[in-house]
Structure 1
Amino acid sequence: MKIADLGDVKLHYRDDGDPAGAPVVFANSLGTDLRLWDQVLPLLPQGLRLIRYDKRGHGLSDCTPAPYSMGTLVRDVERLLDHLGVKECVFVGLSIGGMIAQGLAVKRLDLVRAVVLSNTAAKIGQPEMWADRIKAVNEGGIEALEGPILERWFSKPFRDTPEFQAWRNMLVRQPVEGYVGCCAAISGTDFYTPTSGLRLPLLGIAGSEDGSTPPDLVRETVDLVPGSKFHLIRKAGHLPCVEQPQEYAEILTNFLKEIGHV
Structure 2
Amino acid sequence: MNILDLGDTHIHWREDGDPNGAPVVFSNSLGTDFRMWDKLVPMLPRDLRLIRYDTRGHGLSACHKGPYSMGTIIRDAERLLDALEVRDCVFVGLSMGGLIAQGLAVKRFDMVRAMVLSNTAAKIGTAQMWAERIAKVRAEGIEAIADVMMERWFSRRFRETAELKGWRAMLAGTPVDGYAGCSAAIAGTDFITPTSGLTLPTLAIAGSEDGSTPPDLVRETAELVRGSRFHLIRGAGHLPPVEKPEDYAEVLTGFLRDIGHTAG
Do the two structures share a fold, i.e. TM-score over 0.5?
Answer: yes
- Please name the residue that 1:136 is paired with: 136
Amino acid aligned to 2:156: K
Residues 207-246 of structure 1 mapped to structure 2, 5 A cutoff: 207-246=207-246
Alignment RMSD: 0.5
- Please name the residue that 1:50 is paired with: 50
Q: Distance in 1 between matches of 2:53 and 2:135?
A: 27
- Please name the residue that 1:37 is paired with: 37
Q: Secondary structure at the match of 2:46?
A: coil
- Please name the residue that 1:115 is paired with: 115
Q: Secondary structure at the match of 2:60?
A: coil
Amino acid aligned to 1:165: K
Amino acid aligned to 2:212: S
Q: Which runs of 5+ in 1 are unaligned?
A: none
Residues 58-137 of structure 1 mapped to structure 2, 5 A cutoff: 58-137=58-137
- Deviation of 1:6 after TM superposition, in Å, equals 1.6
Q: Distance in 2 between matches of 1:52 and 1:38?
A: 10
- Deviation of 1:171 after TM superposition, in Å, equals 0.6
Q: Distance in 2 between matches of 1:215 and 1:6?
A: 37
TM-score, normalising length: structure 2: 0.99
Deviations 1:61-82 (A, max 9, x none): 1101110000000000000000
Q: Secondary structure at the match of 1:218?
A: helix
Q: Distance in 1 between matches of 2:174 and 2:183?
A: 13
- Deviation of 1:224 after TM superposition, in Å, equals 0.4
- Deviation of 1:54 after TM superposition, in Å, equals 0.3
Q: Distance in 1 between matches of 2:137 and 2:57?
A: 14
Q: Distance in 1 between matches of 2:16 and 2:124?
A: 31
Deviations 1:132-175 (A, max 9, x none): 00000001110111111111100011000011111111110110
User: Aligned residues, how many?
Assistant: 262
- Please name the residue that 2:150 is paired with: 150
Q: Distance in 2 between matches of 1:193 and 1:252?
A: 26
Q: Distance in 2 between matches of 1:66 and 1:165?
A: 28
Deviations 1:167-201 (A, max 9, x none): 11111011010000000000000000000000100
Q: Distance in 1 between matches of 2:142 and 2:259?
A: 40
Q: Secondary structure at the match of 2:52?
A: strand
Q: Distance in 2 between matches of 1:46 and 1:17?
A: 6
Q: Distance in 2 between matches of 1:213 and 1:131?
A: 18
Q: Which runs of 5+ in 2 are unaligned?
A: none
Identity score, percent: 69
Q: Distance in 2 between matches of 1:75 and 1:152?
A: 29
Q: Distance in 1 between matches of 2:110 and 2:118?
A: 22
Q: Distance in 1 between matches of 2:217 and 2:256?
A: 24
Please list every run of at least 4 consecutive aligned residues from structure 1 whose deviation after the TM superposition is greater than 3 angstroms.
none
- Deviation of 1:7 after TM superposition, in Å, equals 2.2
Q: Secondary structure at the match of 1:14?
A: strand
Q: Distance in 1 between matches of 2:183 and 2:215?
A: 21
- Deviation of 1:16 after TM superposition, in Å, equals 1.2
Amino acid aligned to 2:195: T
Deviations 1:220-261 (A, max 9, x none): 001001110000001111001100000000000000000000
